[in-house]
């Protein structure tokens, strides 16, 4: 009886090791870079051209944001976002996010929808920048460039039947009521900082898809 129990114990231990070793590759396997949706869309007619044109427009906007920040710095001496930590918490300016656009979990349709919606938000937010910056038409220029990129995404995507934009299904973003002129100026700098990071993500996604 003792001999039989020993044999059974050895068998159970061996089985456990076999199961454990079989499970190791599943834990060690690398995560997929994307869901495969991107590769599927890339093969569609007009997609590469769409990405290239979008990249050109985005590359035009990105340095313009820095120029707007420089103007706020020059005119109002608000130059460093780190100095506005408390003001950011006080103003609580909402800003679009692009979590769906990360390369390790790229959800192309949702990502492009969020890009288009985010551009709409920042185009509206630029009205604040026009109030804050005096004697410059740069904010209007950036606003027009934002509209160009937004319309390019909206129209081209639909034209080449890559995606269907879910217009009107995005959360609403509104600026707070600013109690003082300094709040407006600080708010303008905060908006531009968020917008700069937003466009950096847009650029990374477009370069990834190129």
- pLDDT tens string 186-203: 999 999 999 999 999 999
Q: Does position 7 have pLDDT exceeding 80, yes or no?
A: no
Does one domain contain both 26 and 41?
Answer: no
User: What is the average pLDDT across 101-109?
Assistant: 73
Q: Does position 70 have pLDDT exceeding 90, yes or no?
A: yes
User: What is the average pLDDT across 25-29?
Assistant: 34
Does one domain contain both 26 and 47?
Answer: no
Does one domain contain both 4 and 62?
Answer: no
Does one domain contain both 180 and 195?
Answer: yes
Does one domain contain both 20 and 107?
Answer: no
Nearest to 150 by CA among 174, 115, 125, 126: 115
Does one domain contain both 67 and 127?
Answer: yes
Does one domain contain both 16 and 104?
Answer: no
- Indicate the length of the chain as a whole number: 210
Rounded distance between C-alpha atoms, residue 16 and residue 88, angstroms: 55
Does one domain contain both 18 and 46?
Answer: no
pTM for this one?
0.75
Q: Give residue 51's pLDDT.
A: 87
DSSP 57: H
Does one domain contain both 144 and 41?
Answer: yes
Higher pLDDT, 125 or 102: 125
Does one domain contain both 199 and 111?
Answer: yes
Q: Name the residue range of residue 24's domain.
A: 1-30
For the chain, the domain total comes to 2
Rounded distance between C-alpha atoms, residue 203 and residue 209, angstroms: 10
Q: Count Cα atoms within 13 angstroms, Cβ side, for 40.
A: 11
Does one domain contain both 26 and 55?
Answer: no
Q: Which helix (H) or strand (E) holds 99?
A: none
| Percentage helix, strand, coil for the chain under 3-state DSSP, each rounded to 5 | 75, 0, 25
* Residues 44, 46, 51: CA angle, nearest 5 degrees: 105
User: What is the average pLDDT across 78-83?
Assistant: 88
Q: Does position 166 have pLDDT exceeding 70, yes or no?
A: no
């Amino acid at each position: 009886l003792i001999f039989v129990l020993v044999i059974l114990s050895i068998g159970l231990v061996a089985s456990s090791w076999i199961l454990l070793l079989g499970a190791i590759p599943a834990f060690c396997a690398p995560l997929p870079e994307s869901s495969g949706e991107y590769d599927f869309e890339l093969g569609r007619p007009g997609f590469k051209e769409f990405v290239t044109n979008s990249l050109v427009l985005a590359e035009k906007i990105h340095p313009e944001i820095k120029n707007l920040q420089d103007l706020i710095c020059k005119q109002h001496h608000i130059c460093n976002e780190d100095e506005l930590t408390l003001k950011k918490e006080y103003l609580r300016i909402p800003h679009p996010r692009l979590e769906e656009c990360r390369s390790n979990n790229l959800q192309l349709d949702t990502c492009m929808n969020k890009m288009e919606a985010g551009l709409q938000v920042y185009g509206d937010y630029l009205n604040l920048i026009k109030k804050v910056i005096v004697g410059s038409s740069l904010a209007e220029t950036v606003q027009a460039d934002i509209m160009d990129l937004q319309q390019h995404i909206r129209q081209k995507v639909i034209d080449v039947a890559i995606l269907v934009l879910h217009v009107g299904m995005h959360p609403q973003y509104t600026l707070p009521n600013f109690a003082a002129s300094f709040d407006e100026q600080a708010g303008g700098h905060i908006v531009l900082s968020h917008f700069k990071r937003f466009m950096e993500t847009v650029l990374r996604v477009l370069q990834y898809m190129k």
